Amino acid sequence: MTNTILNFQTATGHEVLAAAGKKYLRPGGRIATKKLFQWANFQPGETVLELGSSFGYSAIALAKKYHIKVVGIEKNPDSVARARNNICAAGLENQVEIIEGNIFNLEAISGKFNYVLAEAILTMQSPLGKAKILAEIHNRLKPGGKFLSHELLATNKEEQIRVDLARVIRVNSTPLSESNWITAFATAGLQVEKCQTDSMNLLNLGRIFQDEGFFNTTRILWNILTQRDIRKRVLEIHQVFHKYQHELRYIILCAVAQ
Ligand SMILES: C[S@@+](CC[C@H](N)C(=O)[O-])C[C@H]1O[C@@H](n2cnc3c(N)ncnc32)[C@H](O)[C@@H]1O
């Protein structure tokens, strides 16, 4: 995302938002992540595997605040490079490692973890893909370990939303209802203990300020205003989010490996 020249016709929604300057690419923003971290009750020395770790911001926040070890897996090489730079700048090389790889090959990562964290990554998988990754998450957790999840929720019109999202974010994103998320987790042996949903404000100005701060929000707005390709795609995505503002929400879940 940092070095590769993006084709704005085909780039995924999260690549476009990252090109606009967005650092946090999850539907409930940092406030939802904070809630998930509170639920987790991390203890110093514990371990976390993060799926789709992007620029490493969640991994860095975890390592700094809770003194735990984090392994992130991310498939985009530019994001991996940027994450590694961020980790060095934070002086956390001994606590955070980012592996370039695919979350469909989690068996390549050795060891078991106290937690698996995944934000804005399961929604974009097919039903089979979701089931495969959830089963692998279960395998990577120690007995009693917790899965911390942050995804999109559709209260209804699931198929209509899937079609519209696929058109504007170029990913076959399939948000589930609350009960379908809980069932998908349970099928993989992940018992949901806590769950919360709220409105999805990823592209609302107030939420962008809250997540990104004043200077980065100004930079994002400048990029959207001055770069036609970015503006076109961001407006398309915004329109779909607005169209489904009553149906499309975020969900956070904390589930225990049975
Ligand atoms: C929507 S972004 C979310 C990033 C980050 N978790 C956050 O909340 O800001 C999804 C991330 O997952 C990565 N990703 C998508 N599919 C992946 C896969 N199969 N294996 C590893 N990473 C993947 C993308 O490159 C991107 O960085």
Q: Write the pLDDT tens digit of every residue in 156-206.
A: 999 999 999 999 999 989 999 999 999 999 999 999 999 999 999 999 999
Mutate which of 4, 14, 37, 55 for ligand 1? The one with the most ligand atoms within 8 Å of its CB, which is: 14
* 65: confidence class by pLDDT, cuts 50, 70, 90: very high
Predicted confidence band of residue 3 (pLDDT cuts 50, 70, 90): low
Is residue 101 a contact partner of residue 72, using CB atoms and an 8 Å limit? no
Distance from residue 51's CA to the centre of ligand 1 (Å) = 7
* Coil, helix or strand at residue 124: coil
In the chain, pLDDT over 70 holds for what percent of residues?
98
What is the extent of the structural domain holding 148?
Answer: 13-257
Mapped onto helix, strand or coil, the DSSP state of residue 110 is coil
- Averaged pLDDT score across all residues of the chain: 96
Phi, psi of 48 (to 5 degrees): -130, 135
Residue 2 lies in a domain: no
pLDDT at 5: 84
**How large is the angle between the packed helices 205-226 and 228-243, nearest 10 degrees?**
150
**Nearest CA to 115 among 223, 232, 193, 200?**
193
**Residue 2 confidence class, pLDDT cut points 50, 70, 90:** very low
Q: What confidence category does residue 107 fall into, taking pLDDT thresholds of 50, 70 and 90?
A: confident
C-beta neighbour count of 230 within 10 angstroms: 21
Instruction: Please check whether residue 7 lies inside any domain of the structure.
Output: no
The ligand 1 atom at the shortest distance from the C-alpha of residue 118 is: 6
Confidence check: pLDDT of 15 > 90? yes
- 1 belongs to a structural domain: no
- Interior/surface letters 10-43, b for 16+ CB within 10 angstroms, e for the rest: ebbbbbbbbbbbbbbbbbbbbebbebbbebbebe
**C-alpha 54 – ligand 1 centre gap (Å):** 6
Distance in Å, CA 74 to ligand 1 centroid: 6
Report yes or no on 106 lying in a domain: yes
Identify whether 203 is part of a domain: yes
User: Does ligand 1 come within 6 angstroms of the Cβ of 73?
Assistant: yes
Assess if residue 145 is contained within a domain.
yes
120: CA distance to ligand 1 center in Å? 7
Whether 120 lines ligand 1, by a CB cut-off of 6 Å, is: yes
Is 125 part of any domain? yes
**Phi first, then psi: what are they for 2, rounded to 5°?**
-95, -35
Q: Does the residue 161 lie in any domain?
A: yes
When divided into structural domains, the chain yields a total of: 1
What percentage of residues in the chain have a pLDDT greater than 90?
A: 96
> How far is the C-alpha of 251 from the C-alpha of 202, rounded, in Å?
13
Look at residue 244 and tell me whether its pLDDT is greater than 60.
yes
CA of 88 relative to ligand 1 center, distance in Å: 21
CATH of the domain at 88: 3.40.50.150
Per-residue pLDDT tens digits for 108-150:
898 999 999 999 999 999 999 999 999 999 999 999 999 999 9
DSSP states along 33-63: HHHHHHHHT--TT-EEEEES-TTSHHHHHHH
What SS3 state is found at 81?
helix
